Each structure stands twice: as C-alpha cells, then as structure tokens.
Amino acid sequence: MKHIPNILSALRILMVPAFLYFYWQDDISLIVLGFIIFLMATVTDFLDGYIARKYNYQSALGAFLDPLADKFLTFSAFISLPLINNELFPWWAICIILFRDIFITLLRVWAKYKNATMKTRIIGKVKTVVQFVFLYFVLFLGAFKGYPSWLGVLAKDILSNTEIIFSLTVFVVAFTVYSGIEYTIKNSRLFSF
C-alpha cells in the first residue's frame, strides 16, 4: 500500500507519451482518447498526493517522482497547444511558461544543494490551478473542434473567437511569470554564495 503514490507517479510519467501520441493524431476519436488520457493522468496526480498525505507515505523517491511527473504532464500539454492553433497559442508564450517552471525547479535543486529551505508560496499553488484549468479548457476545445456534432461546432466557434482565447493565453503567461518573480524575490537569499 505504501508504494501506491510512487506507482501512480510512475504511471503518470508513462501516460505522457500516450497522451502526446494520441492527441497529435488526425483522427478525431484518437485525439479525444488523448484528451481522456490527459484527464486520467491529472487524476493520478490528485490521488498520489491524497494517499501520500492521508497515510503519511512520504519517501525520497516520491519527493523526486511526483514533481517530475507533474512537469512532464504540464510540459507535454503546453507544447501541444500550438498544434491546436499556433496563433492563439504562440511558441513564445509556451517557452516563457516552460522557462519559468524550469527556473523554479532549478531553484529548488539549488536550495536542496545548499541545504536550505525554499519558501513555498500560495501563489505557486494558485498558478498550478490556473494553468490546469486553462489546459483542460483549451485541450478540450482542441480535441472536439472537428467533432461532427453540436459539441464540435461549439468548440470550433469558441476557438475562432481569437481575442478571448489569446487574452486567456496572455493572462496565463503573465500570471505564471508573476508567480515566478514572487518566488524568486521571496527566496533571494538562495543567491548568496
């Protein structure tokens, strides 16, 4: 039982290539399957954290696997967005988001190397929620935009409203950058040698 959180994290890592493979297909049913795999992977993220906290199953392996699996999942989702529409989700925006997350991850590694505690911020958790709500929404639209039903028409209509979708993209980028700046300022002592 104590290995379940680590198994779920490892499963999440394995689901990432499956999500990418299916979501990048031309067949609408395979794209929808990719979206479902992404949703299932996010459920494993919730479950492994819940089980680990509830039963106090904390381990060094889990502390390594869980954030690694999270990064793989979010990065794979963000790099999929330009395939939906590279004008609504331009590569510069995706690169900024990925850079922020890589930078904060490296800052955590540096803090561990210095045997220092990195001050966590509530804004980091809010950033994660904002990113995932955004990803659920736009990946859903991307999956169903070619679906031959009212759902496909609705998804296509929403994506064609470029001003709103692009504004959401810019908001997510700005919020992500802001959270990274706040993290950096609050942990500026880590930069002293």
pLDDT of 1 strictly over 70: no
pLDDT number for residue 68: 87
pLDDT number for residue 112: 82
- C-alpha 90/C-alpha 61 separation (Å) is 35
- C-alpha 143/C-alpha 83 separation (Å) is 11
pLDDT tens figures, 85-99: 999 999 999 999 999
Reference 30, options 41, 15, 19; nearest CA is: 19
pLDDT of 143 strictly over 90: yes
pLDDT number for residue 193: 60
- C-alpha 10/C-alpha 68 separation (Å) is 9
- C-alpha 87/C-alpha 181 separation (Å) is 26
- C-alpha 107/C-alpha 75 separation (Å) is 18
Most confident of 43-47, 71-75, 103-107, 182-186: 71-75
Residue with tokens 């700005």: 174
pLDDT tens figures, 155-175: 989 988 889 999 999 999 999
Helix axes 60-84, 4-23, angle to 10 degrees: 10
- How does residue 79 score in pLDDT terms, banded at 50, 70 and 90? very high
pLDDT tens figures, 23-64: 999 999 999 999 999 999 999 988 887 887 888 777 777 778
Q: Where are the domains of the chain?
A: 4-191
What global pTM score does this model have? 0.90
Contacts of 166 (CB under 8 A, 6+ apart): 87, 88
Can you name the CATH fold of 4-191? Four Helix Bundle (Hemerythrin (Met), subunit A) (1.20.120)
Distances (CA, A) of 68 to 120, 126, 165: 17, 19, 29
pLDDT number for residue 40: 95
Contacts of 187 (CB under 8 A, 6+ apart): 107, 111, 118, 119
